[in-house]
Amino acid sequence: MTTARTATPSTARAINDRLALDLLLERGPLTASDLRALTGLSRPTVADLLERLQRSGLVAHAGESAALRRGPNARLYGLVADRAHLAGIDIRASGVSLVVADLTGRTLGTATIAASLPAASAAPVVDGEEPNGSGDAGAPESTGCSCGSSGSGGSGGGGAGAVTTDGDLLVERTVEALLATAAEAGAGELHTVAVGAPGLVDPATGTLNNSGKLPEWHTKLLAALRSRPGTEVILENEVNLAGIAEHRIGAAKDRRDFALIWLGHGVGASVILDGRLRRGASGGTGEIGFLPVPGTIGLPDSKKCDGGFHSTVSSAAICELAARHGLRAEPDTEEGTGAEAEPGVGAEDREPAAGAVVRRAVETGADDFLDELALRIAVGASAICVVLDPGCVVLGGEIGQAGGPELASRVERHLSRLSPLATEVRAGTAGGGAVLAGAVLTAGDAVRRELFGGD
């Protein structure tokens, strides 16, 4: 026989406080009447919780409601946004992008530090731009497999007495830029920093598994961030962060189950089931670049994904496919995406060209090219669907963004012929800044768990 248990007064207060705080976070400043209507709590209970939250420094008066007469009933209460500050960081082989935000997740400042220009200034830019914009600052460049890794961006240093390398300078400049951006935003210290990086992140230890395929400065930067007292550092795979962004603010807001397929220089996936990110035993969920698929020469192995799904839908493969269809893989120079992809140009330089050619193919109705590309993507998506049955696949990254709903609908059509499971395919909407957006969301969740209590 199960005995019903009621919450203790202290537990009930904690639950009610968290409910009110979450409503203030989601909806902005509210009156006491609003909180009573939204929570169903009594007038005395709401009055008590507002008094507690004001004493704790989490809530303060935020003006008066224009819809009500002046007086106690019109008083608005809002979160104290500067009660804590947080940051999101996107580490790529080409450099680092970062965002500093307040307790509500509002962007206070940004900075970008290029790996290829060790002497360049990394002055932070403070603005009101949200981290889920459509720029390229947050676009993942790799998924952890060797084929997904971009250039080295500095090798890092050796043992004692080694000279300072470009990678060491980049680490120093990144930490300086982070602190300068925070100071400019009025943050005395950062409560939590969430970092997105390519590679496998051990879910048990939070360590980055750098098998030698990633620049050494990635690991050094994480160590430098973690050495700062008073700041929690959360490390997450970059594509997982993009998946969190699509789930919370993007194309999959209405889904508890979906898979994000990230298509850019490399290829990867993020899996959300029952509303939760799934990482796997070793953090390797979504390493679909290694997935054996037809149409490649040979098979991938444990160290290289050549011959896997990566070989058919990476940016380099898409540029080659475009050339076979007579399409020029030129980048969109207006968006600052780099130089034209010509024979002999490295894969990293060809990444923006792949997005540009897909966008142009959609605009010009290059059906044969789009259908062949969609079939390639559907082959990989079908493997995810028949194993996990997510019911929805979101196409993200440079290619998903460029192809939009047109490419997504073609992938869905091919997928319906390859898989017996009904699966909707959507174009991602979190934009090129999805990794930074996911990092800010992740850091914000951690801060609020500590300050608000609960899960």
Statement: residue 209 has pLDDT above 50: yes
Distance between the two ends of the chain, CA-based, in angstroms?
A: 29
Question: Which of 209-218, 345-354, 362-371 is the least confident region?
Answer: 345-354
Average pLDDT over residues 378-397: 97
Q: Cα–Cα distance between 66 and 75 in angstroms, integer?
A: 10
Average pLDDT over residues 92-119: 87
Q: What is the pLDDT of residue 330?
A: 66
- Read off the pLDDT of residues 45-101 as tens digits, 9 standing for 90 and up: 999 999 999 999 999 999 888 765 666 678 999 999 999 999 999 998 788 999 999
Q: Cα–Cα distance between 171 and 95 in angstroms, integer?
A: 10
Instruction: Pull the structure tokens for residue 392.
Output: 């929805």
Percent of residues, the chain, with pLDDT higher than 90 = 66
331 band by pLDDT with thresholds 50, 70 and 90: low
Q: Cα–Cα distance between 27 and 368 in angstroms, integer?
A: 47
Tell me the average pLDDT of the chain.
Answer: 84
Rounded to two decimals, what is the model's pTM?
0.84
Statement: residue 233 has pLDDT above 50: yes
β-strand partners of 87: 100, 193
Q: Cα–Cα distance between 399 and 411 in angstroms, integer?
A: 12
- Read off the pLDDT of residues 284-329 as tens digits, 9 standing for 90 and up: 999 999 999 998 888 888 888 888 999 999 999 999 999 999 998 6
